[in-house]
Amino acid sequence: MSRFNPASANQSLDDAINAVKGGLGNAPATSQLDSWLRLLDGEGTGAQGAILTELSNLKNYVHQGDPANISHSLHSVGLLTAKAAETVSDEEIASKLRRLSEALVAASTALPA
């Protein structure tokens, strides 16, 4: 069971949005990924479980220095985040998830495919 708690996710989502919008190269990318993985730690179901899997893939691509797969993975995480936003009843959290989704998709197009 996942330990994700939407009520305590506000600051983490703000940090994630700022990291992505500021450019993943401007922040310690693997540190941010580790933070996201801890936030979603566990065996989430649906979009949350898929996000956890894709974030693990993204971390591996970052370590490998594989820009094409980083781009693809960022896009996938962005789409999955948008899907997760649809399931959240707290409008503030849902709004932040949508903004994070948009930032991830935009970041995915800034890298070579």
Which pLDDT score, from 0 to 100, does residue 3 have? 47
Task: Give the model's pLDDT for residue 44.
Answer: 57
Domain boundaries, the chain: 6-109
CB 35, CB 51: distance < 8 Å: no
The 10 Å Cβ neighbour count of residue 94 is: 16
Q: Answer for the pair 62, 29: CB distance below 8 angstroms, yes or no.
A: yes
Would you call 35 helix, strand, or coil by DSSP? helix
**Predicted confidence (pLDDT) per residue in 78-112, tens digit:** 999 899 888 888 898 889 889 989 988 998 888 76
Mean of per-residue pLDDT scores for the chain = 77
